[in-house]
Amino acid sequence: MSTTTATQKALVLPAPGGTYIVGETAIPRPGPNDVLVRLHAVGLNPVDWKVALPQFASLGLVPEYPFTPGSDGAGVVVEVGTDVSNFKKGDRVLFQGARPMKAGFGTFQEHSLVHSTLAAKIPENISFESAATVTSALITSFLALYNQESEQESLGYKPFWGEGGSPAYAGKPIFIIGGATSLGQYAIQLAKLSGFHPIITTASPRNTALLTSLGATHVVDRRLPADVILEQLPGLAGGKPLEVVFDSVSDSNTQVLAYRAVPSGGQLVLVLPDVIPAELKGGGEQKRIVMVRGSISFPHTQAAGVELFKHLTEWLEKGLIKPNAFEVVPNGLAGIPAGLERLKNNEVSAKKLVARPQETL
């Protein structure tokens, strides 16, 4: 393939705080440890609309514009770097995109790069579309629970995988706010694999059957007043103190609910920055708060990422981790901005929006 001049379609943010357009870009070339993937399906995530906001640009996380975002990808390997031995042309793979946020690594294009240790083969029982729902949300929940290298961002729980697994959490209650979010669906599954019980979550009642099938033992209507939810928790937890509250929504209301639900000495996971009012924290209680950053390209998250990708194919194949349900948006990359708008307006429930880059007109 003469990739030096070959071009492709890509979704492009031309400048900070701008609007996405479909443009023509050079197909990226793999470095020695990268693989180049022809993308068949890509997942849409909240960060992909947030990255286009002017206030995001001021964080300096996007190194250069035009920028192609996209945090989840699934496709076929078409080229491998000179030092890559674990993948070959033709392998079906899934991976987290835009990590790092540099040119060539976002998934909202027809081809994307990924470091060879941070991708996994897609088992035969999983479609590209299903695979494209997995990585960023699973990585975020996984890092929040099991990353051993950051006390600020992770609970550092013992692995459930490996010899014997860890029984350390068996029979301990966990409360997961927002079980129907992508993050929440993976948090429920990981909590089950770690032995937590009961697994209490909040969601719209229409999602009860789904969340129960993933491992939730109790689904509380998320629209009940916080006081009512808090009143129900001790009974649902069987009188045991909650080991951890995992707030997979982390807006200003759920953070308050989460903080109030954590017993003194307990632990709280946030997935967005802490906005819990200072007066609530002033009661002298000891509550540990961690705020996860769901990227495996940081020095303190890479080892956990490599560990996850070592096992992911097997977990998907055996059904230990079930991908989210998905809906395909029309017109390939061109359909992504409208899909992101639906995410922004909270119009998507319990499923991932997925685009097929090769369908771009």
Ligand X SMILES: NC(=O)c1ccc[n+]([C@@H]2O[C@H](COP(=O)([O-])OP(=O)(O)OC[C@H]3O[C@@H](n4cnc5c(N)ncnc54)[C@H](OP(=O)(O)O)[C@@H]3O)[C@@H](O)[C@H]2O)c1
Binding site for ligand X (CB under 6 A): 45-46, 136-137, 140, 177-178, 180-183, 202-204, 207, 222, 248-250, 254, 271-272, 292-294, 343, 346, 348-350
Least distance between ligand X and beta carbon 335 (Å):
17
Residue 71 or 360: the one with the smaller Cβ distance to ligand X is 71
Burial of 277 from C-beta contacts in 10 A (0-12 / 13-18 / 19+): exposed
Q: How far is the CB of 260 from ligand X (least distance, A)?
A: 14
For 303, phi and psi rounded to 5 degrees?
-60, -40
Q: How far is the CB of 115 from ligand X (least distance, A)?
A: 18
User: In terms of CB distance, is 308 or 343 closer to ligand X?
Assistant: 343
Q: Do 57 and 24 form a contact (C-beta atoms < 8 A)? A: no
Q: Which is nearer to ligand X, 68 or 140 (CB)?
A: 140
| Residue 208 Cβ vs ligand X, minimum distance, rounded to whole Å | 9
Q: Which of 321, 177, 143 is nearest to 246 (CA)?
A: 177
Nearer to ligand X, 60 or 283 (CB): 60
CB of 29 or CB of 300, closer to ligand X:
300
Min dist. Cβ of residue 185 to ligand X (A): 8
Q: How far is the CB of 271 from ligand X (least distance, A)?
A: 4
If the CB atoms of residues 61 and 78 are measured against ligand X, the closer one turns out to be 61
Q: Phi/psi of residue 192, each to 5°?
A: -65, -45
With CA atoms as reference, report the closest residue to 291 among 159, 176, 150.
150
203 and 219 in contact (C-beta within 8 Å)?
yes
Smallest gap from Cβ 254 to ligand X, in A, equals 5
Buried/exposed 228-257: b ≥16 CB within 10 Å, e otherwise? ebeeebeebbeeeebbbbbbbbbeeebbbb
Region for 52 from its dihedrals, namely left if φ exceeds 0, alpha if ψ lies in -120 to 50, beta otherwise:
alpha
Q: Which residue is nearest to ligand X (CB)?
A: 294
Nearer to ligand X, 80 or 177 (CB): 177
Per DSSP, what are the bridge partners of residue 9?
Answer: 24
